[in-house]
Amino acid sequence: MLRRLAVLMDPIQKLKIYKDSTFAMLLEAQRRGIELHCFEQADLGLDHGRAWVRAQRTRVRDDVNAWFEQDPPVREFADAFDCILLRKDPPFDAEYLYDTQILEHAEAAGVLVVNRPQALRDANEKLFTALFPQCCPPTLVARKTDDLRAFATSYGECVIKVLDAMGGASIFRIRPGDPNLNVILETITLEGRRSGLIQQYVPDIVHGDKRILLIDGEPVPYALARIPRDGEFRGNLARGGRGRGQPLSDHDRWICAEVAPELKRRGLIFVGLDVIGTYLTEVNVTSPTCIRELDAQFGLNIAGTLFDRLEAMRA
């Protein structure tokens, strides 16, 4: 049973609650009578080997004008909570790495930490797809621009991106003969000092970049196809994409079946797969979104399914 929940998240006052999946989780936890506490990265530390948080008791409501109330912050050891949700958006930088190391102490003390700290460290959202090459378009990761250029020459139209961004940031579409190719490769790799990931372009992006949510390896039966706006190739909602829900296809379910055992093995409970056409392109593990859009379009309660699973894990 979950009685007290702490959530590591971005500032609650900056949430766009109509589309924020963390907020959906807060609403569901409160509906179940779970005591909510929210904290940010600066409110986490270690004291003689025990993880502590400086969290604020929080009450929420689904009102865009006044969606939260909070008590003053209280510092207490992390093992005073039954569960800690890690919902901080990327980038996964050095400070986030340290947070996962600190929260492993809470996990060792018996706290259910979701997603597992070690799994978050190990599962870079771009690189993790390499475990499932049978599901992915042709892909190369490299620092040297010559390697990336050779891939582009072999595969024609491609997409290239950095490994630690989110929301469609730092993604470029390149075509054969593109006069900007050299500067794009130099920008992505910081002139050979940073890795870039290049993939063959998937034309099915015009029909949407599908976000498929999995809860302990089980897919939600609907995906949100994020369709690029006119003049754009990125479907991300943060870049003006339009979200259209649709049932999972048989191939979508095949991809989920290929990926799910590894997710379960690592303790990745709440995950978002990005699928374009028939290809897996990313595995989102830090703060997957699209709960509220799918709930609204299909009358679902995805956070409810998540908390059913979390409560079963704590039984």
Give catalytic residue positions. Answer: 126, 161, 211, 226, 234, 274, 282, 284
In three-state secondary structure terms, 180 is coil
Burial class (CB in 10 A: 0-12, 13-18, 19+), 178: middle
The vertex-214 CA angle with 2 and 140, nearest 5°, equals: 130
Q: How many CA atoms lie within 13 A of 95 on its CB side?
A: 10
CA–CA dist 210, 235 (Å, integer):
9
- What three-state secondary structure class fits 20? coil
User: Bridge-partner residues for 209, per DSSP?
Assistant: 226, 276
Contact 88, 287 (CB under 8 A): yes
